[in-house]
Amino acid sequence: MIATESLSKRFPRVTALDRLSVDVGPGVTGLVGANGAGKSTLIKILLGLSPATEGRAEVLGLDVASKGADIRERVGYMPEHDCLPPDVSATEFVVHMARMSGLPPTAARERTADTLRHVGLYEERYRPIGGYSTGMKQRVKLAQALVHDPQLVFLDEPTNGLDPVGRDEMLGLIRRIHTDFGISVLVTSHLLGELERTCDHVVVIDGGKLLRSSSTTDFTQTTTTLAIEVTDTDEHPDGTHAVRDALHARGVSVEDGGGLPGAGHILLLTAQGEETYDLVRDVIADLGLGLVRMEQRRHHIAEVFKSSDEHEQRKEAVGHGG
C-alpha cells in the first residue's frame, strides 16, 4: 500500500523526516509518534502535496512525486484539525466533497447518504454542522474521507478531543473501515495504547526516524500480563502487600503496577495459563480480601517504545511521591 525509501524532509531549521524507510501492507496500520515526530509531514508527502528533500515514496504503487493527483483520487484524508463550515448541513458538505473527488452528481448524493449512515449519522445530517457535538463532527470528517470509496484512507488523530466512549466508537469504526468496507487505513495517534486494539500493524517514528515497524501481535501478545487490585481488611491493613507475599510464597513473581502515583495498589504478574487465574483467586480468597479487579493487560506499546525514558519518569515520579 505504502512504501518509502530513505525518505527525508528537511526544513531550514528542522529535519522532519530522516531517511525513513517503511513498508505498509493492506489492513489497519497505526503511525505512532509524539507531537512533532513527523507524522503529518509524512502524510503530506504521501498525498503528493509536499516534495520530499530526498528519497522516494510510493502509494498504491504510484510515485508520490509524479502521480500526486492520481493518488489523491484513490485515497481519502481526514485532517487532525477542524475543517467543517458550521453553516451547511453534513449532507450538503459531504456531497460537495464527493463531487470534488470526481463523483458525478447523482453518485455523489447516493454515496453521501450511504457513507453518513455507515459512520452513524442519521436524521441530524440535515442540520447545520455548527450544532454538532465533537463526536458527530469527527464522523462527518470521516465521512468526507470515505465518500469516494478510496482504497486507502489517512486518518490524522481521529480520536482527538473525544471522550472515552466516543473514542471507543471511533476506534471500532476504524476497524470496520477495513473489515467491512475493505479500505486500508493509516491512522496516526500520539496515544500508543489505543492503537494496539485497533491496528494490525504499528509503525513507530520519533524525531523523523523509524523506531520500529511490526505487527501488533509481535508487540503485545507474546505474554499476557494480569493486573490485580485488592481491598484492605483489618486483618491485612495492606492487602496488596499481603497478596504479593502470598504469591511469592507460591513461587509467582509479582511486580508493582507502574510507578505513577495511585497505581501502587496494582500488582502485575505473568499469566502462564488457566492455573494462574485459579491460583490468584485462591490466594485472595484465603486471605479474605476483596478482589477489586483482575484484568488482562497487554504490554503497552509505550514500554517497547521508550523504556529508558520511562525509567527516568519512574524515578521522577517516585521522587515526587516521597
Partner 1 sequence: MAVEHSTGTPAPAPGDQTRIHNIGYRNYDGPRLGRAYARRSLYSQSLRGSYGLGRSVKSKVLPMLLFVVMCVPAAIIVAVAVATKAGALPLDYTRNAIVMQAVISLYVASQAPQSVSRDLRFKTVPLYFSRPIETADYVRAKFAALASALFILTAAPLLVLYVGALLAKLDFADQTKGFAQGLVSVALLSLLFAGIGLVIASFTPRRGFGIAAVIAVLTITYGAVSTLQAIADAQGSSDAVPWIGLFSPITLVDGVQSAFLGATSAFPGGVGPGHGEGVVYVLVALGLIAASYGLLMRRYKKVGL
Cβ distance to partner 1 smaller for residue 4 or 40: 40
Asked if residue 107 binds partner 1 (CB under 8 A), the reply is: yes
Stretch that binds partner 1, among 87-95, 199-207, 217-225, 248-256 (CB under 8 A): 87-95
Cβ distance to partner 1 smaller for residue 107 or 304: 107
What is the Cα–Cα distance from 32 to 130, expressed in whole angstroms? 31
What is the Cα–Cα distance from 235 to 287, expressed in whole angstroms? 9
Cβ distance to partner 1 smaller for residue 91 or 240: 91
Stretch that binds partner 1, among 2-10, 89-97, 208-216, 293-301 (CB under 8 A): 89-97
Asked if residue 72 binds partner 1 (CB under 8 A), the reply is: yes
3 state SS for 179-234: HCCCCEEEEEECCHHHHHHHCCEEEEEECCEEEEEEEHHHHHCCCEEEEEEECCCC
Least distance to partner 1, CB of residue 225, Å = 36
Sheet holding 75-78, edge to edge: 75-78, 152-156, 184-189, 28-32, 201-206, 209-215
Residues 227-286 that bind partner 1 (CB under 8 A): none
The distance in angstroms from the start CA to the end CA of the chain is 50
Cβ distance to partner 1 smaller for residue 118 or 306: 118
Asked if residue 5 binds partner 1 (CB under 8 A), the reply is: no
Sheet holding 2-10, edge to edge: 15-24, 2-10, 54-59, 62-63
Asked if residue 50 binds partner 1 (CB under 8 A), the reply is: yes
Cβ distance to partner 1 smaller for residue 104 or 288: 104
Residues 132-171 that bind partner 1 (CB under 8 A): 144, 148-149
Asked if residue 51 binds partner 1 (CB under 8 A), the reply is: no
Stretch that binds partner 1, among 41-49, 216-224, 262-270, 281-289 (CB under 8 A): 41-49
Least distance to partner 1, CB of residue 42, Å = 12
Contact with partner 1 (CB under 8 A) among 111, 137, 201, 244: 111
Asked if residue 60 binds partner 1 (CB under 8 A), the reply is: no
The residue whose grid cell reads 513507530 is 204
Contact with partner 1 (CB under 8 A) among 3, 15, 56, 110: 110
Stretch that binds partner 1, among 111-119, 167-175, 191-199, 277-285 (CB under 8 A): 111-119
Q: How far does CA 21 lie from the centroid of its chain?
A: 21
Contact with partner 1 (CB under 8 A) among 5, 63, 92, 168: 92
Least distance to partner 1, CB of residue 208, Å = 17
| Cell numbers that stand for 167 in this block | 473514542
Q: Cβ distance 259 to 317 under 8 Å? A: yes
Cβ distance to partner 1 smaller for residue 27 or 259: 27
Residues forming the site for partner 1 (CB under 8 A): 40, 43-44, 47, 49-50, 69-70, 72-73, 76-77, 79, 81-88, 92, 96-97, 99-104, 107, 109-111, 113-114, 117-118, 128, 144, 148-149, 180-182
